């Protein structure tokens, strides 16, 4: 992937950080995006630069139209365009709430950050990808999002991500003639520090809720991103790929309600 430029939203921490670093290991120049975690973003930038590739940090809130425009414009100034776009960032409310308990501002932010902002950022980078005749767009959802089942206490987030599934498939069909692939990854219940860890680091640990027996790691997700970005992966587009170890977050949530 040497010579490619990758933009990973929300890449100062977690799955975005792990993905950005592994893309850099493959030779990509990387645009590190953050909202509030400036010091962590600078650390990721230095780590990437030690791999011998270029990196830049851009502060931008992808849940706003202004943030999307700022991110896209600065990315273009840095590298002339984006070859790989990984839409990892997206607001999430950890406290379980009924839909009736959400305030209007939170509903709008969840929809903007997880669906509209993603669509707008895709729209901004498509022109350059089309001009170069090559591009990789990867969206992040959640495990089993493609089935659009009920997810109690996560109604707004789930609606945004399941809407993203349909958008992924539609965009994939439209952009396939231009050498651009569009896919969605549905990470499973990968928790805390494990989002930045390797498979080897979690291999000896036991997770009683995981059908695989071990917890998920950031590398589990990042290696799927890398595969989708390969030159010969151009026949894979419009797919929803669950990376869950067999875990079903919606069923687990329903069990907790009981």
Radius of gyration of the chain (CA): 17
Q: For residue 118, what pLDDT is reported?
A: 98
Specify the pLDDT at position 193. Answer: 95
At 252 the pLDDT is: 64
Rounded Cα–Cα distance for residues 54 and 51 (Å):
9
Cα distances (angstroms) measured from residue 198 to each of 143, 229, 237, 247: 20, 19, 26, 19
- Give this prediction's pTM: 0.94
Cα–Cα distances in angstroms (integers) from residue 172 to residues 16, 20, 104, in the given order: 22, 23, 32
Residue by residue, pLDDT tens for the chain (258 residues) are 899 999 999 999 999 999 999 999 999 999 999 999 999 999 999 999 999 999 999 999 999 999 999 999 999 999 999 999 999 999 999 899 999 999 999 999 999 999 999 999 999 999 999 999 999 999 999 999 999 988 899 999 999 999 999 999 999 999 999 999 999 999 998 999 999 999 999 998 988 888 888 989 999 999 999 999 999 999 999 999 999 998 876 666 656 655
The pLDDT assigned to 254 comes to 57
Q: What domains are there in the chain, each with its CATH number?
A: 5-257 (3.40.50.720)
Q: Give the whole-angstrom CA distance, residue 32 versus residue 53.
A: 13
pLDDT of residue 138: 98
The pLDDT value recorded for residue 66 is: 98
């Amino acid at each position: 992937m040497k010579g490619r430029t990758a933009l990973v939203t929300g890449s100062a921490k977690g799955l975005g950080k792990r993905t950005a670093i592994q893309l850099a290991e493959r030779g990509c120049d990387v645009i590190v995006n953050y909202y509030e975690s400036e010091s962590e973003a600078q650390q990721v930038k230095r780590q990437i630069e030690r791999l011998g590739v270029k990196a830049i940090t851009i502060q931008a809130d992808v849940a706003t139209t202004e943030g999307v425009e700022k991110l896209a414009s600065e990315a273009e100034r840095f590298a002339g365009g984006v070859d790989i776009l990984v839409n990892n960032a997206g607001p999430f409310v950890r406290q379980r709430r009924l839909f009736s308990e959400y305030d209007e501002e939170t509903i709008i932010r969840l929809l903007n950050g997880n669906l509209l902002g993603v669509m707008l950022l895709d729209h901004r980078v498509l022109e350059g990808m089309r001009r170069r005749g090559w591009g990789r767009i990867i969206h992040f959802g959640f495990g089993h999002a493609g089935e659009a089942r009920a997810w109690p206490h996560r109604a707004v987030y789930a609606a945004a991500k399941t809407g993203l599934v349909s958008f992924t498939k539609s965009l994939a069909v439209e952009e396939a003639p231009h050498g651009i692939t569009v896919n969605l990854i549905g990470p499973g219940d990968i928790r805390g520090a494990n989002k930045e860890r390797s498979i080897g680091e979690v291999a000896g640990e036991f997770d009683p809720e995981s059908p695989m027996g071990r917890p998920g790691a950031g590398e589990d997700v990042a290696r799927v991103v890398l595969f989708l970005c390969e030159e010969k992966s151009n026949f894979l587009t419009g797919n929803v790929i669950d990376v869950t170890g067999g875990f079903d977050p919606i069923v687990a949530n329903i069990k907790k309600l009981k």
